Structures are given as C-alpha cells and as structure tokens.
Structure 1
Amino acid sequence: MKFYKPPGRSRQSASKPEKPQWVQIDGISHDLRGIARFEGKPLFVDNALPGEKVLAKVERSHGRFIEARAIEIETPSAQRHSARCQHFGRCGGCSLQYLKEQAQLEFKQQAVLEQLQRTAQVQPTQLEPPLASAPFGYRSRARLAVYYHRKQKQLRVGFRAARSKEVIHLKQCPVLAPELEALISPLQSLIDGMEGRDWISHLDLLLGDQGPAVVLRHIRPLSEEDLQQCLGFADTHLQQLFLQPGDRDSVHCIWQQDDNAQLEYRLSPFELRLNYEPLDFTQVNRQLNNAMVSQAMDWLSFEQGESVLDLFCGLGNFSLPAARAGARVTGIEGSADMVLRAEKNARSAGMIDARFDTLDLTQPGKLAAICREGIDKVILDPPRNGAVEIIRDVCQLQPVSILYISCNPATLARDAGHLRDQGYQLERLSVMDMFPQTGHIESMALFVQSGQ
C-alpha cells in the first residue's frame, strides 16, 4: 500500500535527505501520529497506525525527536480503510481519513486519558461515552485560500497542502456541509472570470440556518464589472455576500436575499437562535454543538436560581441555555463586540437572568470584583492555550463544580493538575468528535470539589 508524499520543505538538520526506512509502529501520539524508534529517538509518523510496518520518509529532524510520513505500508492495520476524498494525502485539511470513524474516537479518547495521566496523574472517576458526529458533511464554515499563478494563468481555490503553503485546488470537500461543498466549483468559475482574480486572497464559506453566505477577502479594490459579477453570483447561490478589503472591521455586506437575511444558528433543544457576524467564532459542527451543550446542561444539572459564571462565553452558546434552565448567568468574554452580540441574543430570547461583561481573562485577579455575591458553578470554554491564568481566581470563588470544555488535550491536562492542587477532582470526562477525519480533539471534563 503506497501513499502520495505531499510537497513541502524539509527542515532536517542533515545536509541531505534521509533514505526512507522500514519501521514498526508501536504506539500512537497525543496528536494521533504513529510512534516508532529511529536512531535512538522517537519517530512520529503521519499516516501510520499501531501494529503497522511502514516505510517512513523523514520530513523534519529535531533535537529530541524526528517527524516522518508513511509512504508505503507492508502490514496495514484492520482499523485502516480507504479515504473518501480524492485530495487526501495532498490537502492538509483532513489527515485521518485513512482511519475508521469508530477507531478515530477510540484513539482520541486514549490520547486524552494518556495526556491526563502523564502530565497530571489525573483520571476521571467516570468515563462517559464519546459524543459522536456524522463523519462527513458536518462543517458549517471553512476558510479557503485563493491563489492565481500569473505565468501559468492557473487559479487554485482550496486548503493548503500539509506542511506547505501550496494551495490544493479542490474539486470536492466531503467534510463540508453539502450546501457549502456545492459552492466550490461555482466560486472557482466566478473568481477565474474576474479581472481582479489575483487580488482575492481568501474565501470564508458560512452556512447559517437561512442559507449559505460568503466573505470574499480582497487586497485591492474590485472593479465595477467584478462587483457586478459577484452580485450576480450571490443572487443565484447565496443568502448573503460580504466583502473584506482590509482588517476584520472592514467586513461589510454588499448583497442579501431579503431585508431579514442574517447569520444565525439554532440550539434546538433549548429553542434558541443565536445571531453572529461573519468572522465571529462559532462551532463548525452544528449537530455536535447541540449535543455538547445538551450534555453540559445535563452534567451541571442546574437548580432554579443557581449562580453560574460562563468564562470565554462568546455569543452565549452555553450562557443562554443555562439561563433557560433557570440559572442566573454571568458571561465573561474578552471581546467587547462578542459581548454586545451575546447581550443582543439574550434580549432576543427574553433572557432577564443573563448578563455579560468584557474582561481580559488572561489577567488574573479580576474575577472577584465581578462575582461579589458568590458563584455556584463555572463553565470554562477557553482557547487552545487553556485557562491556567485564571484557575486560581476561579477556585477562590469556591464553585461546587467546574465544567471545562477543551480543544487541546495538553492544556486540559496541565489545567487539570492545577485544579487538583486547588481541591477539585475530575469526576466525569467525555471526548467529543467535533472534527471527524482530523486530529483535533475536543473533550468535556467536569471537576467537583473534593469530598462532594
């Protein structure tokens, strides 16, 4: 079994490339790469699974470990299957398509448990079943790169190759929602026919509940003829079309299907609709987001009037369901714009027990002033670098429980150790398949005061 080796610059320390070597894969890393030994160092191998013997091509050599890619497999694992997408192996978007979906979840769960044990010597009292997702057609948003090769007069629209700046020209993308995948070819035709085709740098594809929208990022002003082509495309294919000629604040809508067109998504179990702006952070997997929020509300099991602190609250993805469940919620977010939108979403839903504040959560020592009346429960949904800066402040509020939503097993494990040291134990853990076919790992962890 052979694989295409994607182009990319080697960062090896050696003066010439290493000859590919046959190695036995003995384990799997926290980022779901196969692990072997080579020249006395750990060898992390893309496209390799435990139990396989692979021909590994070294791509990067570091001081304490080596990175490689399997270019041929002698003994394929029973957990391996054929990738669905024709671009697999070149496109850097979905690196796990070779692994059966159930095995992806099992390996992700194993990676989280091993990281918790190795970093913090922490294990959950109760390991809950993973939250599974549809394996394909789940992405409600994506950013595609656009590149026009002037000499070859060739346009490429797609994701970048693995470990490379090369743009892979997409003909399909099965992980996209069907409404967004259907836009790929028409968008390529639109841009290829524009005078300013080489001024377009990115496309953001968005799927709201009312239909698809596109943000077109351009580095120079578009001609009137190009604008008219864009408007004609939008009239046929979109609910909304946005242009972004500069930074985030430059995004503006130039076309919408009707006066009520807006970007929104539903939290169906809670009869909520959340509005958002094109570049706001939202979860890409709507099905899994509904399941995640439902599980969070179930684990926290609010009593009427309990006080809840939702940190990194964003648009109110957890805050508003918690308020719907009868809690008094304070949502904290670093972005003032996101706070304004969370407040608007709360007003639209008639939520009088949800308030929001802007606060830089990387700066310790400020939560106590906001939570003078005490807090019963906390929801933590931090970015990839975790929440280490505010864990001590959170624990000083002495909540009964802390629900931690993680998108990075390494920072979850680190923070779990700090929570343990502050008197909290890991009671429940569940891995969530927010990004099938990729190595991204999301998980939900419930910490409770020791002795509760």
Structure 2
Amino acid sequence: TYDEARIEELLVRSPERIEPRCPHFGGCGGCALQHLSPEKQIAAKQDVLAENFERIGKVQPAHWMAPLVDAPWGYRRKGRLSVKWVEKKGKALVGFREDNPRFVADLSICHTLLPEVGLRIEALSTLVGALDARREIPQIEIAAGDDVVALVFRHLAPLTVEDRERLIAFGQAMNLAILVQPKGPESVIPLWPENVNLHFRIGNADVDLAFRPLDFIQVNAGMNQRMVATTLDLLDLKSTDRVLDLFCGLGNFTLPIARRAAEVVGVEGDAGLVERASGNALRNGIGNAEFHAADLFTNHATTPWSTRHYDKLLLDPPRSGAAPLLDYLPRKGTNRIVYVSCHPGSLARDAGTLVARHGFRLVSAGVMDMFPQTAHVESIALFER
C-alpha cells in the first residue's frame, strides 16, 4: 500500500537540507537523516508519530510533550560492527551494513559511535587485517559502561597465540577492554583485562546497573537518563503504588521505580537478563522489586504475577509492540499506563486498543531522539483510565 522512489535528479535544494557530517553518508546504512539538522530530524519524527496515531490508532494525544533530545553525535555506546576480509582490496572492511545488507560499508570513521571506537575504525581494520584469523572474524560487538569501553571479537576458528597477543596489545594501546566470542553468547571471555566490569549509573534514581557485553541496554546513555526521569514523572509514583513493568530487561526502569513505589514486579522473556536484574536489585540494596522470566507473547492471564493488583503499568516492548498482552491486561485496578515505544506503528495500534477496548484516554505523547541521524522513531505515551 505504498510506493518507493529514488531521486534521479535534484532540481532545487530544500532550505532545510544540510551537508552531512560523515563522508560515508549515503553508502553506509547506519544513518539516514544526516542531510537534516537535528532539530528538523526530531520534528520529522514527531510528524511520523502523529500520522501513525491518526491513521492506525484513530487517536490523538490531548497534549504533545516536548521532544526529548540529547547529544546528536558520539552517543552510541552499544552496537555491532560487521567485518569482512576482502582479498582484492587487501584489507578488512569494518563498519555497518550498506543499504544492501549483503555488503559491509568501507568506513574510515563513524561519528555516531562513541569516539573511543568511532574514531578508530581504520585502526580496527588494520588490526583485523594483521590477524591470522582475519577471514574468520565476522563481527565486533561494542559495549560501553560508565568507565569501560569493551570490544567483543566474534571468531569462527580458534585464535592463535599470536592473534591473542595482537588483540591484547591493541586493547592496551587504545585503553579498550578486549573480549572474544568463539561460539554463542555464553562463550564470551575477556582477554584483557582479566575482569571486565561493565555498569552504568542512573543518577537521578540512585541506581547502578551491571551488565554483560552482549546484554541489551539502551544505546544512548544520555537519552536513557532523560527517558527514565520522564517515565518516573509520568508514572506519578506514590509510596503506596504497586507497579508492573513488562519487558523489564536488566531493570533499567524497574529499579528506579522501586526507589519510589511500594512494590514493583518486572517481567522479561530473556532469563539471563532476569538473573542480572535480580542481581542488580541485590547490589543496589533494593528489596521491594521481584523479577520473573516469561514469554510475554503467550497468554499469562492466569499466571500469578499477572493476576495481582497493580496501580500502574509500564510497557517497554520490542518493535512488534504489546498486542498479545492487551487481551488480558491491564486489569480494572490499573488506572495509569506509561508506554515506551521503539516503533510508532505498533504504539499507535496498541493505543487504539487501550482507548477503544480498555477505557483509557491518551493523555500525552512525544518523541525521544534515542538514535539521532537515523530514521528510528522512539516515543513515550501516557494513558489514564
């Protein structure tokens, strides 16, 4: 139900068009909006959200929140760089995929990544090209905490002693933690230093979250701080509130909520993240948060955690949204919902369900620029019964 076109000739430049900062813009698929200023980007994203609400959900917020924005460059603390050794070029390509995902963009720099990595793309290419296993390195995972930036090298064949030494030397020279991954996610081990302790602090909630390099965390640290603060404000937490946090991950929202509420229950499909969330509650001295592992896309209408009374509900689903949950949640006692979304279409659809079937009204909504320079539209919405 839509058409795609490509520009053949640019006749008149829009006055809103700016020169992209990155020399690889247009070839690398990591960014799509560098030809717009950050202010115009976020305005365009709000237009997308408004259009989705109207067209898909048949709803509009009573109030539009001011967009949440942070630094437009050097923000990406989590990411996956593809790697490909190209014999004809005699070099290793290190970068994001091109628009055609079969190809790896030949990058020299990336301005959206943290500078500790984004300014060292060529150095990474040289490093991989010098490895005996250069043909067996398909990706490099980036994971940064507050005081450690870690690189995880996936390798499809055992590394030689010399390759391990080269990786360690690179980490020491660049002050980057180096880990290797020979198989699945659980096979990740550090090369240097011996112990890699990744964590980040949510300052306005007095919470410190530990995580593993391949765990999901919010990509943009500055925006995460703003998003958590906004979510807490919208929940309007009281000391007597009981809150259900669905798709809770490591406890990014759950533990800050626990600081203000009587009780919070977090539910997440990834059992490893649930284990880390429980550990984070313990290390922060939080005793009023509990966590459960459950596939939230199956029916939990009779599961004990779902049948309890909750005053408030927080939803932070993946791109597919929370539609299966809305068949049995929220229950009658829940009068306030905050929905954090990474896809405007699924948010709009679920907003229509909450309004039409569950008796809520869409009080406010707004966009959050979690991924500046990209077309990703992250948003947040408040519903009241």
Shorter-chain TM-score: which interval?
A: over 0.9
- CA 1:68–1:163: 2 relative to 1, 3 Å: farther
Instruction: Please tell me whether residue 403 in structure 1 is matched to residue 346 in structure 2.
Output: no
2:11 pairs, out of 49, 57, 74, with 74
1:150 Cα shift? 2.5
Partner of 1:431: 367
Q: CA-to-partner distance for each residue in 1:125-156, whole Å, 9 max, x for gaps?
A: 11110001211111112211111122442321
- Which residue identity does 2:325 align to in structure 1? I
Q: Give the direction of change, closer, same or farther, for the CA distance of 1:439–1:385 in structure 2 (3 Å limit).
A: same
What SS is found at the alignment partner of 1:66?
A: coil
- AA aligned to 2:22 is C
Equivalent pair of 1:180/1:206 in contact (CA under 8 Å) = no
Taking the aligned partners of 1:411 and 1:357, their CA distance within structure 2 comes to 24
Task: Determine the C-alpha separation between the residues in 2 that align with 1:305 and 1:66.
Answer: 52
Alignment of 1:308-319 (within 5 A): 308-319=243-254
Displacement of 1:183 in angstroms is 3.2
Task: Name 2:182's counterpart in structure 1.
Answer: 245
Per-residue deviation, residues 257-301 of structure 1 (Å, max 9, x unmatched): x65x41111111112111111111101100000000000001111
CA RMSD after TM alignment: 1.5
CA contact (8 A) 2:243 2:261 kept: no
Structure 1 residue 376 corresponds to structure 2 residue 311: yes
Shift in alpha-carbon separation, 1:76–1:242, aligned structure 2, 3 A: same
Partners of 1:98 and 1:225 in 2: how far apart?
Answer: 44
- Aligned residue among 89, 93, 98 for 1:156: 93
Task: Quote the residue 2:205 is aligned against.
Answer: 270
Q: 1:240 Cα deviation (Å)?
A: 2.4
Name the residue aligned to 1:120. Answer: 57
Report how far residue 71 of structure 1 moved. 4.3
Cα distance between partner residues in 1 of 2:267 and 2:303: 13
Say which SS state the counterpart of residue 5 (structure 2) adopts.
strand
Unaligned runs of 5+ in 2: none
Q: Secondary structure, in 3 states, of the residue corresponding to 1:72?
A: coil
Query: What amino acid maps onto 1:96 in structure 2?
Result: L
Secondary structure of 2:27 counterpart: coil
Is the partner of 2:14 in helix, strand or coil? coil
CA distance in 1: counterparts of 2:220 and 2:332, whole angstroms: 33
| 1:138-157 matches, cutoff 5 A | 138-157=75-94
Residue equivalent to 2:376: 440
Residues 313-356 of structure 1 show CA distances to partners (whole Å, capped at 9, x for unaligned) of: 00000001101123410000111111110011111111011111
AA at the equivalent of 1:165: R
Q: How far is the alpha carbon of 1:249 from its aligned partner?
A: 1.9
User: Which of 261, 268, 278 pairs up with 1:343?
Assistant: 278
Question: Given residue 341 of structure 1, which amino acid in structure 2 is its aligned partner?
Answer: R
State the structure with more CA Rg.
1
Measure the CA separation in 1 of the matches of 2:150 and 2:186: 18
- State the Cα distance separating 1:397 from its structure 2 match: 5.0
Q: Mean Cα displacement is larger for which, 348-357 or 370-379? A: 370-379
Give the residue type in structure 1 aligned to 2:345: A
Report if the CA contact (8 A) 2:91-2:126 is conserved: no
Indicate conservation of the 8 Å contact 2:251/2:266, yes or no.
yes
1:392-433 C-alpha deviation (Å, 9 max, x unpaired): 222235311111000001111111111112111111101100
Q: 1:90 aligns with which of 27, 38, 42?
A: 27
Structure 1 CA distance for aligned equivalents of residues 174 and 181 of structure 2: 19
Matched letter for residue 329 of structure 2: V
CA distance in 1, matches of 2:267, 2:220: 23
Looking at structure 1, the residues matched to 300 and 220 of structure 2 have their Cα atoms a distance apart, in angstroms, of 34
Per the TM alignment, residue 95 of structure 1 is displaced from its structure 2 partner at its CA by 0.7
Q: Which residue of 1 aligns with 2:123?
A: 186
Structure 2 CA distance for aligned equivalents of residues 234 and 119 of structure 1 = 49
- What SS class does the counterpart of residue 249 from structure 2 fall into? coil
Amino acid at match of 2:363: E
Q: Secondary structure at the match of 1:68?
A: coil
Q: Please name the residue that 1:284 is paired with.
A: 219
> Structure 1: 5+ residue runs without aligned partners?
1-63
Larger RCO (alpha carbons 8 Å, 6+ apart): 2
Distance 2:216 2:92 in 1: 29
CA distance 1:216–1:71, change in 2 (3 Å): farther
Count of residues in correspondence between the two structures: 384
Counterpart residue identity of residue 311, structure 1: L
**What does the per-residue CA deviation read over 1:39-69, in whole Å, with 9 as the maximum and x for residues that have no partner?**
xxxxxxxxxxxxxxxxxxxxxxxxx543222
Matched AA of 1:288 = M
Tell whether 2:136 aligns with 1:199. yes
Q: Provide the C-alpha distance between the structure 1 equivalents of 2:90 and 2:57, rounded to a whole number of angstroms.
A: 54
Query: Who is 2:232 aligned against?
Result: 297
TM-score for both structures, normalised by structure 2:
0.96
Identity %: 39
Over 6 Å off, 4+ runs: none
Letter in 2 for 1:153: G
Task: Find the aligned partners of 1:324 and 1:183 in 2 and give their Cα distance.
Answer: 40
Partner SS, residue 67 of structure 1: coil
The verdict on how the C-alpha distance between 1:366 and 1:271 changes in structure 2, with shifts beyond 3 A counting, is: same
Which residue identity is paired with 2:190? C
Change (3 A) 1:327 1:104: farther
Q: Which moved more, 1:383-392 or 1:232-241?
A: 232-241
Distance 1:400 1:243, change over 3 A: same
